[in-house]
Amino acid sequence: MSTLNTAITGLLTAQRSLTTTGHNIANVNTPGFSRQVVGQSAQTPQFTGAGYIGSGVVVDSITRVHSEFLTTQLRNSTSSNAENQVFYQLAGRIDNMLADDQTGLSPSLLNFFNAVQDVADLPTSVSARQSLLSEAQTLTSSFRFLDSQMATLTDEVRVTIKENVAEINSLARSIADINERIVDGMNGDPGMQPNDLLDQRDELIRQLSEFVSVSTTAQGDGAVNVFTGNGFPIVLGKSTSTFRVSETYFGNFEVTMTSAFSTVNITDNLGGGNLGGLLKFQNDMLNPVRNSLGRLAIGLADAINDQHALGLDLDGLPGQAIFNIGGAEVLPLGGAVNTVSAAITDPAALGNSDYSLVFNGGTSYTLRRLSDNQTTAIDTGGTSPFTTAAVDGFTLTITAGATAGDEYIIRPAINGARDLGVLLSDPRKVAAAAPLRAGESVNANGLPDNSGNAAITQVNVSSSTGIPLAADITLTFDAANNEFVLSSPPGGTLAYNPATDSAGKQFTIAAAGNASFSISGVPADGDSFVIGNNTGANGDNRNALALSDLQTQNLLLNGTSTFQDTFGQMVADIGTRTRQAEISSLATGSLLNQAVEARESLSGVNLDEEAANLLKFQQAFQAAAQVISTADRLFQELLNAFR
């Protein structure tokens, strides 16, 4: 080959190298761009009698500097970090909301029980009773506010999930389109790599990993198949699956994937990315927290109402319910006939989970606790309606009419905070007094006539059975038999031996509201005490004191926790999980930065390096041009020699 042709190959090679370097510099800030390098090799030399003479250079490839391992590592880190970030951000909002001194429940709970104590201190004060009702309103408002904020969070999660699903579908279509362009560009030749298209596809898959965990496999024609982390196909060559999201009931989202072959519910198989983080937050934190808040509201209101019903108001009437309590929610799914109802029987036993009830056919049902999938078998035995035994503080009443496969969602506590309200508006209706009182029998002049030194305490009741009393109950001491004889009704005797019981002995009369009292001292034969209705006792504060005592009693979580402790445990658990999410977010963020740096160190454009390449290739271009110029002069000299 002539010197001129040899120089031309060098000139063209230098030109292509300069173009590639310029392309690298131009895309220094392009997301996902991998720097490209020109591969060159010497052309086949020509043989002469003196040996082989070189014939120039040829560009044999323009390749991108790329590592599939680093690209995969970047995708995985992106997906993990996106999931932890979104979970941490949303969890932090709940944590701040519940722990806040202004919006949290702690101040409202404390102020309510302080108001109850004020009524106990001033049982005849109407203003103290009005203050109690005002604090009850404030407490219910706090519950409803927190519940509404969590419902708003659910609305935000719903919108964001739909936006994420739309982005996933859009990215999947873009990946399929670019797959087609890459296949056409390669045209069956693996050596013909459309570098910029490959970078664009990698960047689209990386963006997809921000929404859901993905994995990829390469096809022989240059296309890439993209799957969810659990192996469901998102993109297969030029075809895509379509994600859809539905809300089967409030706060429960299901994601389905429709391909050319089938539609599959993949909710439980999604992980990573924003979508995985949103579903994890909704299912593992937001719904349980709403249930926990509802459980606290139901338990508090139920205990207050029960105790208040055992007292007497300023007009001597039995106490009415202070709070309105919401009921359990039953949701038939998929057009199932509504043949199931639920009732809360023991607020102390309520959990923070929802339940699924499925009719198996015949007389068989299966109740599944969704938080841990623990199941309870139910057989109605053909009875309709059939009421189950209590399960986690509630019962189900099932009426015939369901079809095999029908499913019902049971949500015992989800609306407890939302439905909480104050029923009492008249401060005179606050029942501060106890319904019964006890005392020594008196003579016709109203003076005590017992000759012994025995004494009886005031009566506390724990039930409304037999209240008010149809007649006073007289307890007369029979020294011969060491017992108190009760008048009828209810009749009967209470054993009391002054020699051993004078320090005080506790008694309970079940027929009189489980009336409990203590007798101490040494009664004389015939001494008697009278338990009667507490009429005209406006200054009595015993029921107010009993209401106040509820603050420190373990009435929730199966009798292991007070109201304040239950709320404190909920806040502490949320705080712990939020802190764990923060730590995970920081850790995955650090791993993501390392993955970005590792990729950039290999594939990123280094402007200093490219500037040096520019100078190198410029000089090569100039040298090749000089060779052409020299060859031209030699040729002209040769022509001139023959003129």
Q: How confident is the model at residue 189 (pLDDT cuts 50, 70, 90)?
A: low
Averaged over 361-388, what is the pLDDT?
95
Taking alpha carbons only, the member of 326, 306, 310, 327 closest to residue 318 is: 310
- Strand 214-218 and strand 224-228: the pairing is antiparallel
Maximum Cα–Cα distance across the chain: 164
Q: Which of 152-156, 163-167, 184-188 has the lowest mean pLDDT?
A: 184-188
Residue 134, pLDDT above cutoff 90: yes
514, HSE (Cβ side, Cα atoms, 13 Å): 5
pLDDT at 330: 96
pLDDT tens-place string over residues 38-61: 888 888 888 777 778 887 888 888
pLDDT tens-place string over residues 211-239: 999 999 999 888 999 999 888 899 999 99
Q: What is the distance between the alpha carbons of residues 212 and 228, in angstroms, rounded to a whole number? A: 7
pLDDT tens-place string over residues 60-111: 888 899 999 999 999 999 999 999 999 999 999 999 999 887 777 999 999 9
pLDDT tens-place string over residues 262-311: 889 999 888 899 999 999 999 999 999 999 999 999 999 999 999 999 99
pLDDT at 242: 94
Q: What is the distance between the alpha carbons of residues 418 and 342, in angstroms, rounded to a whole number? A: 18
DSSP tally for the chain: helices H, then strands E: 11, 29
Global pTM reads 0.87
H or E element: which one contains 244?
strand 242-249
DSSP letter string, 53-110: E---EEEEEEEE---HHHHHHHHHHHHHHHHHHHHHHHHHHHHHHHH-TTTSHHHHHH
Q: What is the distance between the alpha carbons of residues 47 and 204, in angstroms, rounded to a whole number? A: 51
Q: How confident is the model at residue 188 (pLDDT cuts 50, 70, 90)?
A: low
Q: How confident is the model at residue 323 (pLDDT cuts 50, 70, 90)?
A: very high
pLDDT tens-place string over residues 488-520: 889 999 999 999 999 999 999 999 999 999 999
Of 113 and 636, the structure prediction assigns the larger pLDDT to 113
Q: What is the distance between the alpha carbons of residues 220 and 236, in angstroms, rounded to a whole number? A: 13
Is the distance from CB of 13 to CB of 57 less than 8 angstroms? yes
pLDDT at 158: 95
Q: What is the distance between the alpha carbons of residues 398 and 384, in angstroms, rounded to a whole number? A: 7
Q: How confident is the model at residue 417 (pLDDT cuts 50, 70, 90)?
A: very high
Averaged over 143-161, what is the pLDDT?
95
Averaged over 555-564, what is the pLDDT?
92
* 34 contact partners, CB below 8 Å, separation of at least 6: 64, 65, 66, 195, 198, 199, 202, 603
Q: What rounded mean pLDDT belongs to the chain?
A: 91
Q: What is the distance between the alpha carbons of residues 140 and 570, in angstroms, rounded to a whole number? A: 18
Residue 255, pLDDT above cutoff 60: yes
How would you class 49 by CB atoms within 10 Å of its CB: exposed for 0-12, middle for 13-18, buried for 19 or more? exposed
Averaged over 409-420, what is the pLDDT?
95
Q: Give percent of the chain above pLDDT 70.
A: 99
Q: Give percent of the chain above pLDDT 90.
A: 76
Averaged over 138-158, what is the pLDDT?
95
Query: Residue ranges per domain, the chain?
Result: 3-65+604-641, 70-286+561-596, 436-533
